[in-house]
Amino acid sequence: MGVKTYSCINSIHNRACRFFLGVGKYAPNAAVTGDLGITPIFDKQWKSIIRLWCRLNNMSSNRLNAKIHKWADSMSIKHKCVKNWNFLVKKTFCELNLSNLSCPENMDTNYVIKKFMSKLHEKHVDNWHAVLHSDKSISGRGGNKLRTYRLFKENFEPEEYCKIALPFSHRSAFAKFRCGVAPLRIETGRYENIVLENRVCHICDVFIEDEAHVLLRCPLYDDFRNHLYYVAETFNDNFNTLDDNQKLVFLFSDVNMIRVCAKTCHLILKRRRNFIYCK
């Protein structure tokens, strides 16, 4: 069983996640997989690899498969230029600080798999956090789209809005706001090569049109905002005393606000589209 990853398989996996959330191809993978709490296909592949590795190590030495396995293992040790399957598996054990489990003779297979997958998941979560809190995008061009997302997302686990029954249009709008890909000037200005300071709101013509602006300040959506704030105050008595970042965190992370906030995001995008293109 090979250890190679295939970009085409990962692309299909990521596309399915985006389709479920309704966020489009420009949504950052870190936000999409973070909200769904889905580990990469790579992890499942390694689970099968380690199961096979344990089986070969525990196999009777009289069997041909075991003899070939031991021969390949000795070749990877004797010759530095030999980077076969055995070498790559052992290398991964070392990278995860599990060298003591790389030769699991007479060792419980389930224990080895559990320890390996736990370490692999920790490594994935660490990489996810690094992407989340980077000041640059993965490509290195421009800022990180996850500027808002990282305010309220810290744990790599499925979000409640992905588990409950929501209208697709509401879930899509909510996910777009969370992932930083809602069609606001802060995002669309990227593709027009407009500097950040000039990505101003079409209505206010002064402030940068980002998620905080349309949800918390823009006068075009005052009626939606009043209802949103009314509901928020029923679950948080101090909501009006919070600053903008704290309000965003509450609106996007409190389970009681999911339905009303998702609906508000949908209504905002709908009115914005009608105002800009139908006036």
Nearest CA among 210, 166, 213 for reference residue 188: 210
Cα separation of 102 and 126, whole Å? 23
Q: Quote the pLDDT of residue 143.
A: 63
Q: What is the pTM of this model?
A: 0.86
Cα separation of 74 and 151, whole Å? 50
Q: Quote the pLDDT of residue 58.
A: 86
CB 135 within 8 A of CB 143: yes
Cα separation of 79 and 132, whole Å? 40
Residues paired with residue 208 on neighbouring β-strands, in sequence order? 200
Nearest CA among 226, 252, 229 for reference residue 240: 229
Q: Quote the pLDDT of residue 128.
A: 92
3 state SS of 264:
helix
Cα separation of 172 and 190, whole Å? 21
- Give all strands (DSSP E) within 106-239, no chain letters: none
DSSP state of 39: P
Nearest CA among 6, 35, 5, 40 for reference residue 18: 35
Distance of CA 247 to the CA centre of its chain: 22
CB 66 within 8 A of CB 59: yes
Cα separation of 214 and 154, whole Å? 24
CA distances to 70, 169, 208 from 172, rounded to whole Å, are 52, 5, 23
Cα separation of 26 and 28, whole Å? 6
Give the model confidence (pLDDT) of 95-143 as tens digits: 999 888 877 666 788 989 999 999 999 999 999 999 988 876 655 555 6
Q: Quote the pLDDT of residue 4.
A: 78
Domain boundaries, the chain: 1-158, 159-279
Phi-psi region for residue 63, left (φ > 0), alpha (ψ -120 to 50) or beta? beta
Give the model confidence (pLDDT) of 60-81 as tens digits: 889 999 899 889 888 888 877 7
The list of the chain residues with pLDDT below 70 reads: 1, 104-106, 136-143, 279
Q: Quote the pLDDT of residue 156.
A: 92
Q: Quote the pLDDT of residue 107.
A: 73
Distance of CA 23 to the CA centre of its chain: 12
